[in-house]
Chain A
């Protein structure tokens, strides 16, 4: 199985470098608006994707670059979207917070906290109704566990016993405020699952193998008709909440502790343990480096968003006409 872990490692390395490129391009004035980087949380996306079928449905948040990439969006198409290029995933109409790759089952990134949990429930209902054996997964942050849609979604999914996974990426902070200071239970997602008679797993979200195992087990249960699972993956973001946040509110020793548990470092150590030669891991890093470098060049060279696109895609006929 070592080659599989090496693949996961390489995917995480690609995501890490794509996020770094997004950060650098922002500082260079080539990405506008804001970005919410997921550096440090790659193992959740890569581990989960590895456990899912190609036709399963994934819903992500505004911190969703890693999920789009893990489901098969190219770094070039993601970066082109961030750079307002017509070759972007959403042709420049979505931006960083709305990366979507529907043809890979990645059904969008939603920037209203918690809004996509009911959507995942609906996608799971649809899959169950059509009898396809697909599952739906909603990835969300710890902050989403205090919004109504989280609770409505868990309840409905539980009573309808739907094939849906609720995967919380608990990175300990909502935006600037620790989740623990506004939540009466220590594990904001896992501890609530019991209220809806749902099983929950509290896992190390920085260990890609642990994530993959937990998601596979939950997906198998869902496909077998045994209903939803809540997975709370503890992880940490290497950056602030968004571009403008230097994250000075986090204690230095906490940051240090988590940086030492960087998912890429953990995977590297595990690969060494399994006897994979270091050179092979370095080669994966080099391939990732090259791929993202080429992606940046490709995105930079792409044409800008087409002004004609501003008035398309409101309706199914492709247009925006609302009156005669």
Chain B
């Protein structure tokens, strides 16, 4: 068995593999050069590829993502880092108005093959402006692909797919998973965007999860198994494209659905998944669809408060137990 690797190392590994095979792949962002990124997710890139391909920028989110867009429109495949996903709001014009629309509004004349990577999510006590899970922001914008891996190997396989994609991809790396270890990605590992992974088979209930909520759902499934409830866990891996077929197929067998999402309940991605199942999988359901999501408040600082707001293993098991009554 190969030595385990971290999620953090896998980010740099995934980018490096693509930079080796394609000279048009370039990186830009704050502190990504010699510093290797504030989360150490770019370690080694500067040394291997040099300052022309791994460029430090000023703290200018609009310039970072706007320049990445201009470079992508003219032949490069930029990988732009926005340090914390909360800061996407500083360049939201590019993600809401420019990048996703330019192909459409020019009648197909232009494309934007870029990746915007960003550290997402809570659980680390960073407070309200450095802890949000904002994949639902990107999910509301037609024209963006949205990826959020949960394992080191998936990080590499999805990074390859994202960089090779001719469409713009927002790539959410979860801060709470950076230290997590897993099997290294095999050589030439490329996953397909929009293909969910069934990470645990089960018969009684389907748990749909993403990124940080995948290990949470797995832990809940372990606990439920001890109570005699067999839970299936689906890691969506990407929100756009959304593997709705995998969810519908699973619910067709289990008849129960709990969606575990880190973003707030209000406007969360799980609402779209629930609406699809209500619309197209209604006949399969034996119980209401439940969503375990964050409370609709800003993320608090203290652990005791953050624990109240974020989803947890206990909240997932409680939701499933409540459905067992149906």
Contacts and interface: CB of A to CB of B under 8 A. Distances in A.
A149 B108 CA distance: 26
A246 to B, nearest CB: 29
Contact of B98 (A93, A119, A121, A153): A119
Interface string B62-73: 110111111111
A312 B242 CA distance: 18
B63 A127 contact: no
Given A323-B241, A324-B194, A102 B142 contact: no
B107 A313 contact: yes
Interface stretch (B177-185, B219-227, B243-251, B291-299): B243-251
Interface string A99-122: 011110001101010011111111
A148 B108 contact: no
Interface stretch (A257-265, A269-277, A314-322): A314-322
A152 B240 CA distance: 30
Given A119-B98, A314-B104, A156 B240 contact: no
Interface in A267-319: 309, 312-316, 318
Interface in A52-110: 57, 59, 88-94, 98, 100-103, 107-108, 110
A170 to B, nearest CB: 22
B73 A318 contact: no
B57 interface: yes
B54 to A, nearest CB: 12
A136 interface: yes
A321 B241 contact: yes
Contact of A118 (B70, B76, B143, B244): B70
Contacts of A120: 70
Contacts of A93: 104-107
A45 to B, nearest CB: 19
A146 interface: no
B63 A152 contact: yes
B97 interface: yes
B70 A324 contact: no
Interface in A131-179: 136, 148-149, 152-153, 155-156, 159-160
B267 interface: no
A242 interface: no
B138 to A, nearest CB: 12
A124 B68 CA distance: 11
A198 to B, nearest CB: 15
Contact of B106 (A108, A126, A159, A316): A108
B187 interface: no
A123 B108 contact: no
A156 B71 contact: no
Q: How large is the interface on A (under 10, 10 to 19, 20 to 34, 35 or more residues)?
A: 35 or more
A125 B242 contact: no
A314 B103 contact: yes
Contacts of A126: 70-71, 74-76
Contacts of A122: 66-74, 78
A130 interface: yes
A311 B68 CA distance: 26
Scoring A57, A102, A124, A315 by chain B CB atoms within 10 A of each residue's CB, the highest score goes to: A315
B98 A94 contact: no
Interface in B80-137: 93-94, 97-98, 102-111, 113
A323 B244 contact: yes
Contacts of B94: 115, 118
B276 interface: yes
A156 B58 contact: yes
Contacts of A318: 108
B109 A123 contact: no
A315 B275 CA distance: 24
B107 A136 contact: no
B244 A117 contact: no
B167 A108 contact: no
B35 to A, nearest CB: 17
Given A115-B66, A152-B60, A324 B98 contact: no
B110 A108 contact: yes
A102 B109 contact: yes
A98 B105 contact: yes
B166 to A, nearest CB: 3
Given A115-B94, A129-B26, A152-B62, A322 B78 contact: no
A103 B110 CA distance: 10
Interface string B272-292: 000010000000000000000
A102 to B, nearest CB: 4
Contacts of A118: 62-63, 65-67, 69-70, 94
B52 interface: yes
A324 B246 contact: yes
B1 to A, nearest CB: 33
Contact of B105 (A94, A116, A129, A315): A94
A268 to B, nearest CB: 35
B242 A156 contact: no
Nearest to B146: A322
A224 B326 CA distance: 74
18 contacts: A102-B110, A115-B94, A118-B62, A118-B65, A118-B67, A122-B68, A122-B69, A122-B71, A126-B71, A126-B75, A149-B93, A153-B63, A155-B63, A156-B67, A312-B108, A314-B103, A320-B142, A321-B241
> Which 3 residue pairs across A and B have the least CB separation, nearest first?
A118-B66, A122-B70, A316-B166
